[in-house]
Structure 1
Amino acid sequence: MDPRSDFRFPRGARVLHIGPHKTGTTSLQRAFHAEREAVSAQGLHYAGAASQPIDEVLALLARENEKPPSDAPPNDRLWRRLVAEVRRQRDRSVLVSSEFFADARESAMRAAVRELGGDDPYVLITLRPLVRILPSQWQQYVQNGLKTGYGRWLKAMLRNADTTALTPSFWWRHRHDELVARWAGIVGADRVVVVVLDESTPDQLLRDVESLFGLRTGTLEVPGTDNRSLTWPEIELIRQFNRQFAESGLPRSVHRHAMRFGTARYLQQRTPRPNERRLTTPYWAAQEAVALGARMAESIAASGVRVVGDLAALSALPATGIRAKGEPAPKITVRPELGAAALMGLVHASGLPEVVGHGKVRDPAGAQPVPTAGFARAAWRRTRERIRRTLG
């Protein structure tokens, strides 16, 4: 084992990995979920039944945050079940991982630490350069319904953050020095561990976390399948859909279902053409993000928290994904095959293949089949909960 830090979580520690979003959380969670038995045999319990306890944490936020998250469960039953699971572990170490902890306000933060942390709480925070997070997070916001283009959104985030009404969660999650300071104020700086991603080594995050828990090197493996970023034409197709959807008067829950269980999921299954444009960040925005990253790194270094990796990476300008200074945004053309793939996604989201077709539908453009049974079950579960809430 060749750790970048000699610190180890003590036996029996309760570790809350709070993300934030777009910092390798999905890969880490899938790796732990796939190797539950292996990590359990080494004394670590990975909490929750799925790759991450999304609904459980959303239930906590709905109970404690002043503004509850959309699509949260109607009560905190799932959260209480997670708490009971963690408490049953007695002297075993426990990891609870969800980037939605990063959306917690003070009351929810204190409740999470109090109810999950036991006598030995720690907070694990994974960070990557802001300049890399910007395009990934904008794509996610578009999938959630945002209609604003990338350039305009960047100006709002980087130059008008104090006045814009767009995506208020962005800086709550990604002003990383303030995120670190908030959680350090709850558990103490010596109980916050920050891991800075090394993007030159894809599996470095897994190795770092293995080391922190004293797991054997190689226990965690990079997931074989991971959600790729959408191409620029793909995300522009969704953004134009958002504009029309906003005029329809339909509830946002319909949009969430169409994206989560249909269009976005299905588009990610296709193989983009080699010449399909990738999203690029304009030079001015990259420069401002790098400068802010340097200031955040200085604040984190001065905070007294434990750091694994190189904080200087937060202010590094990447070699790819940046448009040259003065280069205009390209004109994006959405090919008909993308429209066809998006429609196929909506077919899957509707549940028709399972209800009417009794099977799976292949897209003629080459996308792999997306199973609908799990999507339909998840949709029915959420619909059932809403009906129960309505009926009291």
Structure 2
Amino acid sequence: MASKIVLHIGLQKSGTTFLQHVLQESCEVLAEAGVRYPVLPDWDRGKRTVANHEWPSYGLLGTEYPWVSQRRAAAEKDSWQALLDEVKSWPGTVLLSAEALSVVRTAAVQRLLDALRSDDVEVVITARSLGRSLPSLWQQHIRNGRSTSFASYLGTLADQRAKGWEQIENDTDLHLWRAFCLNRLARRWSEAGATRVSVVTTPGRPPELLWRRFAQAAGLPDLAVLPGRQAHTGLTAAETLVLSSMNASIREGSWTGQNADWVRQVVTDRFQTRETRGRKVVIPLEWRDRLAEWSDEDLTALQDTSAHVIGDIDDLRYAPDLEQDSPPTTEEVGAAGAEATLALAELALQESFVQRNTRRVRRLLP
């Protein structure tokens, strides 16, 4: 049985994918140092791009996640058992990473800790300021096919927060604040029995600094060479607006989900290759004071918990005075729209070329 288990539970949009890439690519080096990062044989099925342990956790926690059906949970039971067997067979430290664990309620936290059957479970939370997390979450919202404005998205979050912490802790659908209120997240896991909870502040750049802070929190050895993995790059303000408008038009056209996903992927991949992309998404002016209040409230309460903060706690503080005030220009939006059009036009032309030549070959056949 593992002598110690380290659970990295996110948060979402805090560099988790970058860290998981590093852990996956370094799993052999880590194993030589006594730390097991399980990479299960079936990790690459579906749409995953990096090995993590979210899907196996569905086999244990199932519909505790609002997006997981009973059928999906049943399908992941073998994956969970395989992961548990890895934990049982390793004599040293086992490191598991699944950002979805940040949203689960107290009873599910207890169920997981009981299933792991370890007397030493440390929890590592990676976190960014709300001023950086919420724009990234809204971008993901748009990338998933929505067309909600950023202001409306923040309004929904404000309504959820206003429901009160008791309801947030118990309503599965209010999972965003269950994760992103750091002081309550830290308390939830420590009160359930975690032996130590660490909060790693995400500095942004360079990503190597995030890795060093994470390695310190997780008790990992220094890697001689950090794998050349780039941190994820989000969309700019102009690109997000273009994609949002595309989503609205796609919805009006009643496209299939598969075709809509394909178009969004083509466009977002093209956006990533642009040299001049415009300014980043920022908090709307009318929401900045509210976010500053939320941020100060949470960080004050976090310092009253037993959580260990690795890094500078001011990395987590939202500072409205540092925001850009100007929205994306008409030229930036137009350039992003043109790039999206070109990406789709090039694919259409390639397909037309193949179709034309196919017809020519068929005419030549006897």
Given that 1:210 and 1:216 are in contact with CA atoms closer than 8 Å, whether structure 2 keeps it comes out as yes
Distance 1:347 1:178, change over 3 A: farther
Q: Which residues in structure 2 correspond to 1:77-156 (within 5 Å)?
A: 77-89=78-90, 91-116=91-116, 118-156=118-156
Distance 1:310 1:337, change over 3 A: closer
| 1:24 pairs with one of 5, 11, 15 | 15
CA separation in 1, counterparts of 2:263 and 2:116?
34
Aligned length: 330
CA separation in 2, counterparts of 1:73 and 1:245?
31
Q: Which amino acid aligns with 2:32?
A: A
Given that 2:3 and 2:120 are in contact with CA atoms closer than 8 Å, whether structure 1 keeps it comes out as yes
Distance 1:342 1:151, change over 3 A: farther
> Does 2:221 correspond to 1:221?
no
Stretch deviating more after TM superposition (179-188 or 37-46): 179-188
TM-score calculated relative to the size of structure 2: 0.77
Which residue does the alignment assign to 1:280? 282
CA separation in 2, counterparts of 1:154 and 1:99?
22
Distance 1:125 1:160, change over 3 A: closer
Given that 2:11 and 2:102 are in contact with CA atoms closer than 8 Å, whether structure 1 keeps it comes out as yes
> Does 2:234 correspond to 1:266?
no
CA separation in 2, counterparts of 1:140 and 1:32?
24
SS at match of 1:246: helix
Alignment deviations for residues 234-290 of structure 1 (CA, whole Å, 9 cap, x no partner) = 22232123223334555656655665xx3365235422425x343222234333323
CA separation in 2, counterparts of 1:346 and 1:85?
47
Q: Which amino acid aligns with 2:317?
A: S
SS at match of 2:156: helix
RMSD: 3.4
Q: Which amino acid aligns with 2:187?
A: A
Q: Which residues in structure 2 correspond to 1:282-301 (within 5 Å)?
A: 282-301=284-303
In structure 1, stretches of 5+ residues that fail to align are: 1-10, 357-392
Q: Which residues in structure 2 correspond to 1:120-269 (within 5 Å)?
A: 120-158=120-158, 161-162=161-162, 168-188=174-194, 190-199=195-204, 201-219=206-224, 221=226, 223-249=228-254, 252=257, 255=260, 259=264, 262-263=265-266, 266-267=269-270, 269=272
- Percent identity over the alignment is 23
Structure with the bigger percentage of helix = 2
Distance 1:22 1:306, change over 3 A: same
Stretch deviating more after TM superposition (136-145 or 226-235): 226-235
Q: Which amino acid aligns with 1:148?
A: T
CA separation in 1, counterparts of 2:37 and 2:63?
24
Given that 2:160 and 2:174 are in contact with CA atoms closer than 8 Å, whether structure 1 keeps it comes out as no
Distance 1:214 1:99, change over 3 A: closer
Tell me by how many angstroms 1:140 deviates: 0.7
Tell me by how many angstroms 1:293 deviates: 1.4
Stretch deviating more after TM superposition (207-216 or 39-48): 207-216
In structure 2, stretches of 5+ residues that fail to align are: 41-49, 164-172, 356-366
Distance 1:183 1:37, change over 3 A: same
SS at match of 1:302: coil
Which residue does the alignment assign to 1:51? 51
Given that 1:267 and 1:345 are in contact with CA atoms closer than 8 Å, whether structure 2 keeps it comes out as no
TM-score calculated relative to the size of structure 1: 0.72
Larger radius of gyration: 2
CA separation in 2, counterparts of 1:253 and 1:118?
42
Given that 1:15 and 1:117 are in contact with CA atoms closer than 8 Å, whether structure 2 keeps it comes out as no
Q: Which amino acid aligns with 2:7?
A: L
Distance 1:170 1:37, change over 3 A: same
Tell me by how many angstroms 1:137 deviates: 0.8
Distance 1:137 1:223, change over 3 A: farther
Tell me by how many angstroms 1:213 deviates: 4.4
CA separation in 2, counterparts of 1:344 and 1:102?
41
SS at match of 2:303: helix
Which residue does the alignment assign to 1:371? none
